Amino acid sequence: MTTITAEALKARLDAGEQVNLVDVREPDERAAFNIGGTHLPLGQIMGMQVDAIDDMRNEEVVVYCRSGNRSGQACMFLETMGFTNVVNLSGGMMDWEAKFAG
């Protein structure tokens, strides 16, 4: 599994790059703060309900959660389901907010 830092991802987004983001947090966490992308809670991924992102199987998919743990699990599971380029946002939204939401 590949990882990306908050700084590297923010630089790509700020440059206008189209990045496939997947937020695997629960709805209340997403409502509090998010950086966009498709909302697909970890439970749905573990239940193999990935229709919303199925078209991204052969594209880079950056997965994020609160701290990087759930997104790491999601990345590993997505890889077993045939996703070829999943990337975990290290530190998750905790790191992102600490660096950029001040």
Strand, coil or helix: 23:
strand
Prediction pTM value: 0.97
Kindly list the strands in the beta sheet with 60-64, ordered across the sheet, starting from the edge strand earlier in the chain.
2-4, 85-89, 60-64, 21-23, 38-39
Report which of 81, 78, 82, 58 is spatially closest to residue 70, judged by C-alpha positions. Answer: 78
The C-alpha atoms of residue 39 and residue 27 are separated, in whole angstroms, by 8
Is 65 considered catalytic here? yes
Set 22, 61, 62, 65: catalytic member:
65
Multiple choice CATH, 2-100, 3.40.50.720, 3.40.250.10, 3.90.550.10, 1.20.140.10:
3.40.250.10
The C-alpha atoms of residue 83 and residue 92 are separated, in whole angstroms, by 20
26-85: pLDDT as tens digits: 999 999 999 999 999 999 999 999 999 999 999 999 999 999 999 999 999 999 999 999
